[in-house]
Structure 1
Amino acid sequence: MRLPRTPVAVALVSLLALGVPTLAAAPVAARPAPAVPATVTVTGEGSASAPPDLAVVAAGVAASGKTSQAALDTQNKAAAALLAAVRAQGVADRDVRTESVSLNPVHDHTGGASRLTGYQAAQSFSVKVREVARTGAVLQAVTDAAGDAARIDSVVFDVADPAPLKARAREAAHDDARAKAAQYAHLSGRDLGRLVSLSEDAAAYRRPGPSAGDAPGAGMSVVPVAPGEIRAAATVTAVYELA
């Protein structure tokens, strides 16, 4: 059986007779794989420090009494004296906050039997001292005003706005990473290219606690404290191209 001689078939037969390759027979040229740029990966570390401009004092009062009302009355009197003392030291009302109030029975378990002996009332405060040099004077004022009922739980020094300090630490970490990458590029006989990626691996923010030190006031007895310094640290990972 013969196929019909259509114009397309006649043209295809003619091209094959002349040795002209058809589209179906044309080889496909392989595309070269794109070159992968060389890179260097480094870790940068940086830190920054500043003197504290804020102290947060955790203070309070605790009192006992034969009855719950007696314990509360004594505690209330001591708490009022504490608040008056810190205000007299220039601490604003907005910087004093009650953290907890408690009233609990006290039992004696001698001989295996539980016997109610009285009650204990307590109240704790958070006091922000924005003049760090006055921290010792505030502590002394609390103990003087509340007497045996006074409690000082902790003193934490800090900066009111840590953002600029953290920003300086990140900048130092970034510069450290770039310096390391530039050195590796030089050692490899290459030039440092563009930054491909940058990620922050870790950040630290250290606040010093209280310790003994000399912080004399203007002729007055104060609790000695050592503010130290606040330190922020950052670590980054950077990838650079090598040109």
Structure 2
Amino acid sequence: MCPPEPRHPHPKGPPVTTRRPRAARTIRLLAATAVLGGLLAGTAAPALAAAPGRTALSAAAPAAEAATVTVAGHGRAAAAPDLAILSIGVEASRATAKEAMAAQKTAAETLLVVLHQQGIAERDIRTDSLSLAPVYTQSAEGESRVTGYQAGQAFSVKVRDIDRTGQVVGAVNDTTRDAGRINGVVFDVADPSALRTRAREAAFRDAYDKAAQHARLSGHRLGRLISLSEGESVRPGPGGAAQALAAEEPSVPLAPGEIEEQVTVSAVFELL
């Protein structure tokens, strides 16, 4: 048998540090970098996807505003009146307030009776005012004192049969005598809506014609209507107004004339 080989003890000395290969550390760094890169890419993807849209919006030039023209149109329409509105009343003066009111009451009742006899309906008679006031007299010494009272009542009366207006006024004069008062008469149309419609149509045609002319003069074509507004309709004045008449006036000639309605519109049109 061969003798065993002799074992040699390890020499004593400082401990030996074992280092892992450099390749393993490199692999771990590359893996961490790949994970971090994936996270960053996922976060930035929505922003990158939206970026082209924002860039396009910021780069787009603002659209040019359409050219417009603003015009005012005026329209008129006239018609013969079919309604007369009388302003009539009674007055009475007496020594005391009670006596004045009683006399006014009697005169007003007489006035209402004659109006009904002339075919005026209740709905067409309206009290506009009722008054009672002291009557003053100035003495030679310059002092004013109450010497009586005056009471009065005013009515607005619509005469729908316009040809009978003078007859109604004459009947009031004859019946109320010194107590009667005819303050005036105004002619009108019972339904002004048809007259206003015609004036409105004329106003719009006037505005359209003006806009078309401006478009032609500026080398454009007239486009769509953008906006339209209307002002308040206007009456030039009371149609056929007659002056106040004295109670003893034997005849009452009246001139109804015609009623005019005016409308103004403002329109904005597009120019092409």
Superposition TM-score, scaled by structure 1 size: 0.82
**2:159 counterpart of 1:129:** yes
2:186–2:242 CA contact under 8 A, matched in 1 = no
Change (3 A) 1:11 1:120: closer
Distance 1:142 1:12, change over 3 A: closer
Report the residue type matching 2:263 in the other structure.
A
Give yes or no for contact 1:71–1:119 (8 Å, CA) kept in 2: yes
Secondary structure of the residue aligned to 1:112 is coil
Match of residue 133 from structure 2: 104
Assess if the C-alpha contact under 8 Å between 2:137 and 2:147 holds in 1.
yes
Structure 1 distance, partners of 2:114, 2:129, is 19
Q: 2:55 aligns with which of 20, 28, 48?
A: 28
Q: Is the 8 A contact 1:61 1:150 kept in 2?
A: yes
User: Counterpart in 2 of 1:175?
Assistant: 205
Rounded Cα–Cα distance in structure 1 between residues aligned with 2:153 and 2:38: 106
Cα deviations by residue, 1:110-169 (Å, 9 ceiling, x for unpaired) = 223333322212111111111111111111111111101111122121111111211211
Identity %: 52
**CA offset at residue 74 of structure 1?**
2.7
CA contact (8 A) 1:78 1:145 kept: no
**Pair 1:66-2:99 in alignment:** no
Higher-Rg member (1/2)? 2
Deviation at 1:8, TM superposition (A): 6.1
Q: Distance in 2 between matches of 1:201 and 1:80?
A: 44
**Counterpart-to-counterpart distance in 1, 2:103 and 2:40:** 113
Q: Which residue of 2 aligns with 1:226?
A: 255
* Cα displacement (A) at 1:48: 0.8
Out of 113-122 and 22-31, give the one that drifted further: 22-31
Structure 1 residues 222 and 137: alpha-carbon distance in aligned structure 2, compared to 1, 3 A threshold: farther
Aligned to 1:199: 229
- Which residue is 1:5 aligned to? 33
Whether 2:212 is the aligned partner of 1:185: answer no
Task: Report the Cα distance in structure 1 between the residues aligned to 2:224 and 2:113, rounded to whole angstroms.
Answer: 61
Which amino acid in the other structure matches residue 133 of structure 2?
Answer: N
TM-score (normalizing by structure 2): 0.74
Secondary structure of the structure 2 residue equivalent to 1:204: coil
Moved more, 179-188 or 56-65: 179-188
Letter aligned with residue 151 of structure 1:
R
Report the AA paired with residue 208 of structure 1. G
Size of the aligned set, in residue pairs, is 226
Check whether the contact 2:185–2:242 (CA below 8 A) recurs between aligned residues.
no
Aligned to 2:7: none
Contact 1:56 1:128 in 2 (8 A): yes
Contact 1:43/1:235 (CA < 8 Å) preserved in 2?
Answer: yes
Q: Any gaps of 5 or more consecutive residues in structure 2? A: 1-28, 42-46, 244-249
- C-alpha RMSD of the superposition: 2.7
Aligned partners of 1:51, 1:137: CA distance in 2, in Å? 19
Q: Which residue of structure 1 lines up, in the alignment, with residue 25 of structure 2?
A: none
Runs (4+) off by over 6 Å:
10-13, 24-27
Residue of structure 2 aligned with 1:208, choices 230, 239, 246? 239
